[in-house]
Amino acid sequence: MQDIDTYFEANRQGWNLKTNVHESSSFYDLEAWKGGHDSLNPIELREVGDVSGKKMLHLQCHFGQDTLSWARHGARVTGCDLSDKAISLARKLSRDLQIPARFVRCNVYDLPQHLGGKFDIVFTSYGTIGWLPDLDRWASVVAHFLKRKGFFYIADFHPVIWMMDDEMEHLKYAYHNAGVIETEQEGSYADRYADIKYKEFGWNHSLSEIINSLIRHGLRIEFLNEYPYSPYDCFSKTVRGEDGNYRIQGLENVLPMVYSIKATKV
């Protein structure tokens, strides 16, 4: 069995490769975003609410597009990510667009050793905690950085979706955390034909594991919402609905595809 650091290092290298692809992809459409397009989705904009003047910490921020979008909405932002290529791009975007932000390159577990201060909001979204084996340790980091009465918010792909095979036809993986999932990857969700190959290591987490980890670290759950669609076209065999969101063809409005949680530090 490999150790956790080996898994994280492989994932860092994979995300470096993906960042090179994502920077020029139509999925992220950086040119439109630079021109003022908001990369945030209605789900998180509605549920997080007004962030004007709030200190916000964005965990696993990739190359900072959403982090900087929150800054455009008035937040004072800090982003953290494992990938050095992603953080380098995030800092460049911040400089080029003159959007104030701080970005920290480290594993989310190690962030307390690299960043001080408390935040009004800790935020994370879409494809984040599946890269972490231990949610109790993750929740301790969330609680560490939250001010009293501050809140944590996550919008992410539903654990049920991560049970499916790549073709979205059969159940393949356990709903709960049954250990590391090792896969060989080609391309990226942002460009399935990109000429990159890499190995990934991930972990599935049930809703009960996510919620209980937050409760154990002193957070009060304000809501759990579940949605039968994805705002992103990043799964196989999707169809776009009239609402602009994506569902698995043949399973429209059958599978939950996204969940969100808001939790306040008491």
For the whole model, what pTM was predicted?
Answer: 0.97
Given this model, what pLDDT does residue 35 score? 97
Quote the number of domains for the chain.
Answer: 1
Contact 155, 260 (CB under 8 A): yes
Find residue 191's DSSP bridge partners: 188
Q: For residue 10, give its domain range.
A: 4-265
pLDDT in tens, 30-70: 999 999 999 999 999 999 999 999 999 999 999 999 999 99
CA distance 176 to 161: 12
Residues of the chain whose pLDDT is less than 70? 1-2
Given this model, what pLDDT does residue 1 score? 47
Nearest one of 210, 238, 200, 178 to 11, comparing CA atoms: 200
Q: CATH code at 194?
A: 3.40.50.150
SS3 at position 138? helix
Given this model, what pLDDT does residue 24 score? 96
Residue that the structure tokens 């990109």 belong to: 194
Question: Exposed/middle/buried for 117, CB within 10 Å: 0-12, 13-18, 19+?
Answer: exposed
